[in-house]
Amino acid sequence: MKAVRFVEVGKPAEIVDLPQPKPGPGQVLVKIGGAGVCHSDLHVMDEDLGLKGPFTLGHENAGWIAGIGQGVHGWKEGDPVAVYGPWGCGHCHTCQTSAENYCENHASLGTMGGGLGSDGGMAEYMLVPSPRLLVPLGTLDPAIAAPLSDAALTPYHAIKTALPLLTPNTHVVVIGIGGLGHMAVQILGALCAATVIAGDIDDNKLAHARELGVRHTVNTRDGDAAAEAIRKITGVRGAVLALDFVGAQPTIDLCTRVVERNSRITVVGLGGGTLHYSANNPPYGCAVTIPYWGSRTELMEVIALAAAGRIHPQVEKFSLGEAVAVYQRLRDGKIKGRAVLVP
């Protein structure tokens, strides 16, 4: 079968032929219907995140069960599933609460999940080590639903934990309207009545935010002008939440300038910026959070939101053979919503 592989840091992905895997005891084979192309893959290929290649990329996957290992019960071939991405040990206290994204034994696992240390879903088939990592998809199309398992789950987790702040008379700033950000503005619309202000350096991404119902958009290329424009919208109260899906120095700095007291800055993007602290900057009472991905239970909630028609991943489909070109398009900011590879 064809597979898109990470080889080593500094090298582009390679497309190779691999034997189709067979499910061993306790494992499940998934025929991939869609594998999302996440910006994190660019970080994996460009920077040393401590992941050792080679392995098949693709950590945002959905498809159909195609093989069941010995001892796996309750699933049958053909069932449509999303693959829960952050693979924990499965037995620590935190994993038992379904939050494998915060597994207590993560450091000793040697992998962060399929496509992040282990073989992922940018292939015709993917081996999932345990049925506990599968979530039923119902009637959703796997090619459209694949981004739910990261591009939607990650912002969902970040927003859900901030919900008590998001009363109807508040403002939320969302920076970076790409794969994660375009889902974040929809999730905010579905979960709360706070007013959303979308920021990006690319006017096409801001136009996309407006298509998704966001009323206020601000080009953030000039940080001073952006802070002033956002402040004009929020008034003296500032934003109660700034969600940064870039995490670069200019965006983190912008976050600190648009929140007021008793607020929250949530940095999701891995853009390499630093949050500087000095007295009252960020303002007193401001919490800073750095969430990672989401829990399996939250993935079930995200799938329910999509099934109810409340959130819609905007998907551009490509073949496995186009993977290298698609990564370049993502790097150049040319993907609207999420690119998904369909084998």
Can you tell me which of 176, 273, 282, 343 binds ligand NAD, judged by CB under 6 A? 176
Q: Residue 196 Cβ, how far from ligand NAD at the closest point, in Å?
A: 15
Nearest Cα to Cα of residue 123 among 131, 112, 114: 114
- The option from Zn ion, ligand NAD, none interacting with 117 (CB < 5 to 8 A, set by class) reads none
Q: Give the span between the Cα atoms of 153 and 143, in whole angstroms.
A: 16
Residue 11, SS3 per DSSP = coil
- The option from ligand NAD, Zn ion, none interacting with 92 (CB < 5 to 8 A, set by class) reads Zn ion
Residue 38 near residue 31 (C-beta atoms within 8 A): no
Residue 45, SS3 per DSSP = helix
Nearer to Zn ion (CB atom), residue 64 or residue 292: 292
Q: Does 177 bind ligand NAD (CB under 6 A)?
A: yes
Q: Does 227 bind ligand NAD (CB under 6 A)?
A: no
Nearer to Zn ion (CB atom), residue 87 or residue 216: 87
Nearest Cα to Cα of residue 126 among 241, 34, 8: 34
Q: Give the span between the Cα atoms of 182 and 209, in whole angstroms.
A: 7
Nearer to ligand NAD (CB atom), residue 120 or residue 131: 120
Q: Residue 60 Cβ, how far from ligand NAD at the closest point, in Å?
A: 9
Residue 153 near residue 294 (C-beta atoms within 8 A): yes
Q: Residue 127 Cβ, how far from ligand NAD at the closest point, in Å?
A: 22
Q: Which residue has the tokens 């040697």?
A: 110
Amino acid at 93: H
Sequence-distant (6+) residues with CB within 8 A of 45 are: 6, 9, 10, 11, 12, 13, 327
Nearer to Zn ion (CB atom), residue 125 or residue 293: 293
Residues 235-254 contacting ligand NAD, CB under 6 A: 245-248, 250-251
Q: Does 122 bind ligand NAD (CB under 6 A)?
A: no
- The option from ligand NAD, Zn ion, none interacting with 192 (CB < 5 to 8 A, set by class) reads none
Q: What are phi and psi of 172, to 5 degrees?
A: -120, 130
Nearer to ligand NAD (CB atom), residue 202 or residue 322: 202
Question: Quick count: other Cβ atoms within 10 Å of Cβ 120?
Answer: 27
Can you tell me which of 56, 170, 217, 220 binds ligand NAD, judged by CB under 6 A? 220
Q: Residue 41 Cβ, how far from ligand NAD at the closest point, in Å?
A: 8
Question: Quick count: other Cβ atoms within 10 Å of Cβ 271?
Answer: 18
Question: Would you give the end-to-end CA distance of the chain in angstroms?
Answer: 10
Q: Give the span between the Cα atoms of 48 and 265, in whole angstroms.
A: 26
Residue of this chain nearest to ligand NAD (CB atom): 178
Sequence-distant (6+) residues with CB within 8 A of 241 are: 162, 165, 166, 170, 172, 173, 194, 259, 263, 264, 265, 266
Q: Does 178 bind ligand NAD (CB under 6 A)?
A: yes
Q: Residue 69 Cβ, how far from ligand NAD at the closest point, in Å?
A: 29
Nearer to Zn ion (CB atom), residue 92 or residue 307: 92
Q: Does 263 bind ligand NAD (CB under 6 A)?
A: no
Q: Does 333 bind ligand NAD (CB under 6 A)?
A: yes
Q: What angle do CA 256, 157, 304 make, to 5 degrees?
A: 140
Residues 30-59 contacting ligand NAD, CB under 6 A: 38-40, 43
Q: Residue 188 Cβ, how far from ligand NAD at the closest point, in Å?
A: 15
Q: Residue 154 Cβ, how far from Zn ion at the closest point, in Å?
A: 7
Residues 287-316 contacting ligand NAD, CB under 6 A: 292-293
Per CB under 6 A, residues contacting ligand NAD are 38-40, 43, 150, 154, 175-181, 199-202, 205, 220, 245-248, 250-251, 268-271, 292-293, 330, 333
